[in-house]
Structure formats: C-alpha cells, structure tokens
A = this chain, B = another copy of it.
Amino acid sequence: MNALDRIDRNILMQLQQDSRLTNVQLAAQVGLSPPACLKRVKRLTEEGYISRQVALVAPHKLGPMLHMVVEVFMERDHKQLFQEFVKSIQATPEIKQCYQVTGEVDFVLIVMVRDMEAYEKLCDRLLYSNPNVRKFRTLISMKRDKFETAIELE
C-alpha cells in the first residue's frame, strides 16, 4: 500500500518546488516517458499524496499584512469541545493554520489579518465569546522570514 519508490519521491520533490513544470519536463527530470510519468502523478494525486496544487501569493504585494501567532488555553481538555473549536477555526478564513499542542497551551493558531482592528474583531467573534476558551496570548509578527510548504522526503 504505502510504497513510494525513488521515482515517486523524485516526482513529489519536483512538484513541491514547482508544480508548473509540464509533464514532459517532469518526465525528462525523473527519467520516464511522459505517459508513464503522468500515470504516476495521477496515482499520487488519487491516493492523496498530493493533496492539491496551489499558487502561493506574496502577502506583502497586497498591502500591509499582519501575522499573529496565537496560543489558546482551553477551559477543559474535552474532546467534544476541542472538535467544536476546530470546526469554528476551519470556518474562519483569516486563521491559516491550527496546531493542537501538548502541554499548558492547547492550540496554536497562525492568523493573517490586514490590521489590528480586523484582529480584534476576530478575537471577539471567536475567542472572547467562546466559554471554552480560558485565555489566549497573541504574538504579533510584522515579518515572516520563511514560508516553505515542501516536506522532506529523505
């Protein structure tokens, strides 16, 4: 079931760096004929290795943008409540990432907003009004020094 050979990993590495490669280019890179290569890409997509292909847009080109790292402390460690919270996070487009962590903090959120006002509104809507959120701490970032989506395939 889970057996990616060297060629599959090579394909994934290439496409993680640049998915605009044409299939003929990719095929040449990995040493296959275009149809054989296409079949693999299709298989990797169907089997969920490639979840999707997207364009990454440069945030700073669209005016000022604030990134927030938010640590959320919940009232109780209750699965049901966590799931509900995650649901509300998934429905909030400004929240780009959510990590469930172990320790004192329960969730870490990565939020992208235009300004403080937008962030405060978000907090009102999602955190202050949620009885299961005990408290949260915000780290404000005006500089994202690195953003890489690729995964190491050793």
- The answer to whether B97 and A148 touch across the interface, beta carbons within 8 angstroms, is yes
Instruction: Kindly state whether residue A145 has any CB partner on chain B within 8 Å.
Output: yes
The answer to whether A93 touches B19 (Cβ under 8 A) is no
Residues on B with beta carbons closer than 8 Å to the beta carbon of A110: 97, 99, 110
CB <8 Å contact, A57 and B49: yes
Interface residues on A, range: 35 or more
CB contact under 8 A between A140 and B53, given known A89-B146, A149-B96: no
Q: How far is the CA of A101 from the CA of B107 in the complex (A)?
A: 18
Q: Are the C-beta atoms of A54 and B18 separated by less than 8 Å?
A: yes
Q: Across the interface, do A49 and B56 meet the contact criterion of CB distance under 8 Å?
A: no
- For residue A20, give the distance in angstroms from its CB to the closest CB of chain B: 5
Per the bound structure, the CA–CA distance linking A59 and B57 in Å amounts to 22
Q: Please tell me if the beta carbons of B101 and A141 are within 8 angstroms of each other in the complex.
A: yes
Q: Are A151 and B99 in contact (CB under 8 A)?
A: no
- Cα(A147)–Cα(B147), bound, Å: 12
State A149–B96 Cα separation when bound (angstroms). Answer: 7
